[in-house]
Amino acid sequence: MFFMISTMSLVLAFVGGLAGLGIGYVLRIKIAKGNATNVEAIAEKKLTEAKTQEQQIILEAKEKAIKVIDEAKKEEEERRQELRKMQQRLESREETFDKKLLEIEDKKTELQEKVEKVKTIEAEVLAKKEEVVEKLATVATYTKDQAKEELLTKIEETAQDDLLNRVRKMENVGAEELEAKAQDIMVCCMQRTASSHASETTASAVNLPSDEMKGRIIGKEGRNIKTIERMTGCEIIIDETPEMLVISSFSPIRRRVCQLAIEKLIKDGRIQPAKIEEYIEEAKRDLAIDLKKSGEAALQEMGVIASDPKLASIVGRLKYRTSYGQNVLNHSLEVGHIAGLIAAEVGMDPSHARKAGFFHDIGKAIDHDTEGAHTDIGRQIMEKFNMHADFAEVCNTHHDTNPPLLLTKLVMAADAISASRTGARRDTYEQYVSRLKELEETAMSFPGIEKVYAIQAGREVRVFVTPEEIDDYAAYNLAKDIARKIESELQYPGEIKVNVIRETRVIEYAR
């Protein structure tokens, strides 16, 4: 019994020991795991701190490196700037040195030239000295008569100008004889000058194939004739005269453009506003060609060789200019021929005088929108085309009372002969044209105006304005302003209608 109890106790003790061992083992393992976890956390913390310190060290190193690099760059830039300044100073010194060197070379050249001049003067002085010595030696051998002859010869050579002046004074004493001689020259030149040209008119007639053409030219509600009058500045007169219409305008150029355009329209047969505009532009081009041909023919007749074709075009415009009803181109040709004849009679160059007489009124070829007298404009044209200075002087002074150039006086005489012949000029016509020009110039003095036409013998002024600058309200005020200015500045009979026209065209293409 006791044995059984002891055995049981042993068994229980063994079992309890085993259980204690197991529990201790388990507790040991748990404690070991806890310790391992703590160690791992501590290690990880240390690792994190190490990484943080590493990054901080790297950042500090980078900042120090950047600072070092910046300082190095700054030092390098300062050195470069210093080098640039040194280079600039060197270049400036080099440039100054070159200038000084050039100045020295110039002075050296100048000194050499002066030395050469001095040598030349010394040689001339020596030559003169030898010449004087020779003359003295020669004079020493002269007789009394020989010395007297030599003295008179020298005096005659030195006093030649004084002798000529005395001769001229002696010629001036016989003023009556010279006057008679001048009259003989004028009569001779007038007898040798023949011209059939008479004064110009202000209207041109156009023959029509039939009276039915009058209605077509007028157009529906007068559209065609209004377009022609608006674009040419002429007045179309259609009356009961069979197969004829009349174009009226004080400007021969406008009349000619209108006449050519109407003739082209009649030939084409399609008379409408679009065709009218097309043929008017074509007529202007044809007229420009005709002006150039007329100018070239006139220049060739006068023996003028023009290097610039523009001069021929300017001369051609004189064909459609009038002075007191006299065609200016024909007048210029007459003056040129008469001046050449007078020059031949008095011993001057006929060709030179002929050209001077021809160009004396060239300033009248320029339109009235260019400011200045025709004398001053003519001088500018001669200078522009590099013509002889005498021609410019003649243009500028041929209306003066006492011009300094003898050639100008000769041209003035030729001008008077051409203008004074019977039927050449008509004062009333010139006054009429002058009044119409004054009307147009007065209207053109306002801004925003494209073109102005005085029609119906000056009873109406048509003013075409630029639509971009003048609106409808401004056009109304412009008409009143023009009318007031005409009333205050011009003298005219009756009343004048001021017609301001503003037209806007918009063109677009469908493609």
List, for residues 239-255, the tens digit of each pLDDT value. 888 888 999 887 888 88
Q: How far apart are CA 356 and CA 375, in angstroms?
A: 13
Q: Are residues 465 and 438 in the same domain?
A: yes
Indicate if the alpha-carbon torsion angle 291, 292, 298, 299 is positive or negative.
positive
* Average pLDDT score over residue span 23-41: 71
- Please count the structural domains in the chain: 3
Is the confidence at residue 107, as pLDDT, over 60? yes
Q: How far apart are CA 276 and CA 266, in angstroms?
A: 11
Is the confidence at residue 195, as pLDDT, over 70? no
> What confidence tier does 2 reach under pLDDT thresholds 50, 70, 90?
very low
* Average pLDDT score over residue span 47-62: 85
Q: How far apart are CA 79 and CA 228, in angstroms?
A: 83
Q: What pLDDT, on the 0 to 100 scale, is given for residue 40?
A: 75
Q: Are residues 366 and 467 in the same domain?
A: no
Q: Are residues 239 and 295 in the same domain?
A: yes
Coil vs helix vs strand at 431: helix
pLDDT digits (tens, 9 = 90+) for 77-96: 888 898 888 888 888 888 88
What mean pLDDT, rounded, does the chain reach? Answer: 81
For residue 240, what is the DSSP state? Answer: S
Q: What pLDDT, on the 0 to 100 scale, is given for residue 145?
A: 74
**Dihedrals phi, psi of 508, to nearest 5 degrees:** -140, 150
Its pTM stands at 0.50
Residue 106 within a domain = no
Residues contacting residue 292 through CB under 8 Å, at least 6 positions apart: 309, 312, 313, 316
Q: What pLDDT, on the 0 to 100 scale, is given for residue 482?
A: 92
Lowest pLDDT segment from 24-38, 122-136, 158-172, 351-365: 158-172
Q: How far apart are CA 210 and CA 195, in angstroms?
A: 37
Lowest pLDDT segment from 2-16, 152-166, 391-405, 486-500: 2-16
Lowest pLDDT segment from 32-41, 252-261, 459-468: 32-41
Q: Are residues 350 and 267 in the same domain?
A: no
Q: Are residues 226 and 313 in the same domain?
A: yes
What CATH number did the domain enclosing 206 receive? 3.30.1370.10
> What confidence tier does 413 reach under pLDDT thresholds 50, 70, 90?
confident
Q: What pLDDT, on the 0 to 100 scale, is given for residue 343?
A: 87
Q: What pLDDT, on the 0 to 100 scale, is given for residue 285?
A: 92
Instruction: Single out the residue of 395, 392, 386 nearest to residue 307, CA to CA.
Output: 386
pLDDT digits (tens, 9 = 90+) for 421-449: 655 555 456 677 778 888 888 989 999 99
* Average pLDDT score over residue span 379-394: 90
End-to-end CA distance of the chain: 134
Q: Are residues 392 and 281 in the same domain?
A: no
> What confidence tier does 186 reach under pLDDT thresholds 50, 70, 90?
low
Q: What pLDDT, on the 0 to 100 scale, is given for residue 258?
A: 92
Q: Are residues 450 and 339 in the same domain?
A: no
Residues contacting residue 279 through CB under 8 Å, at least 6 positions apart: 260, 261, 264, 265, 268
Q: What pLDDT, on the 0 to 100 scale, is given for residue 52?
A: 86
Q: How far apart are CA 303 and CA 410, in angstroms?
A: 19
The structure tokens listed for 444 are 């053109």
* Average pLDDT score over residue span 269-283: 89
* Average pLDDT score over residue span 282-299: 90
Is the confidence at residue 506, as pLDDT, over 50? yes
Q: Are residues 383 and 474 in the same domain?
A: no
Give the domain range for residue 362: 335-426
Q: What pLDDT, on the 0 to 100 scale, is given for residue 68?
A: 86
Is the confidence at residue 11, as pLDDT, over 70? no
Domain boundary among 287, 320, 353: 320
| Single-letter code of the amino acid located at 493 | P
Output the CA–CA distances (angstroms, integers) from residue 471 to 334, 336, 466, in the order listed: 50, 51, 9
Q: What pLDDT, on the 0 to 100 scale, is given for residue 252?
A: 84
Lowest pLDDT segment from 134-138, 259-263, 364-368, 474-478: 134-138
Comparing 71 with 137, the larger pLDDT belongs to 71
> What confidence tier does 179 reach under pLDDT thresholds 50, 70, 90?
low
Residue 477 within a domain = yes
Considering the chain, what percentage of its residues have pLDDT values greater than 70? Answer: 80
The structure tokens listed for 241 are 């005269």
Q: What pLDDT, on the 0 to 100 scale, is given for residue 193?
A: 56
Is the confidence at residue 24, as pLDDT, over 50? yes
Residue 185 within a domain = no
Strand partners of residue 460: 455, 497
Sequence length of the chain is 511
- C-beta of residue 316 within 8 angstroms of C-beta of residue 295: yes
Is the confidence at residue 4, as pLDDT, over 80? no
Domain boundary among 403, 426, 449: 426
Residues contacting residue 305 through CB under 8 Å, at least 6 positions apart: 299
Q: How far apart are CA 232 and CA 172, in angstroms?
A: 57
Q: Are residues 290 and 348 in the same domain?
A: no
Instruction: Single out the residue of 362, 352, 364 nearest to residue 303, CA to CA.
Output: 352
Residue 212 within a domain = yes
Coil vs helix vs strand at 436: helix
Give the pairing of strands 460-465 and 449-455.
antiparallel
- 273-302 and 350-359 helices, crossing angle to 10°: 160
Q: Are residues 467 and 494 in the same domain?
A: yes
Instruction: Single out the residue of 255, 286, 420 nearest to residue 412, CA to CA.
Output: 420
Q: How far apart are CA 87 and CA 80, in angstroms?
A: 10
Residue 295 within a domain = yes
Is the confidence at residue 223, as pLDDT, over 70? yes
Lowest pLDDT segment from 9-23, 39-53, 245-259: 9-23
Domain boundary among 426, 455, 483: 426
Q: How far apart are CA 67 and CA 80, in angstroms?
A: 20
Q: Are residues 216 and 313 in the same domain?
A: yes
- 175-191 and 160-173 helices, crossing angle to 10°: 80
Is the confidence at residue 184, as pLDDT, over 70? no
Residue 288 within a domain = yes
Q: Are residues 270 and 349 in the same domain?
A: no
Residue 49 within a domain = no
Lowest pLDDT segment from 21-35, 169-183, 230-244, 336-350: 169-183
What CATH number did the domain enclosing 459 receive? 3.30.300.20
Residue 269 within a domain = yes
Q: What is the 3-state secondary structure (H, E, C) of 242-306?
A: CCEEEEECCCHHHHHHHHHHHHHHHHHCCCCHHHHHHHHHHHHHHHHHHHHHHHHHHHHHHCCCC
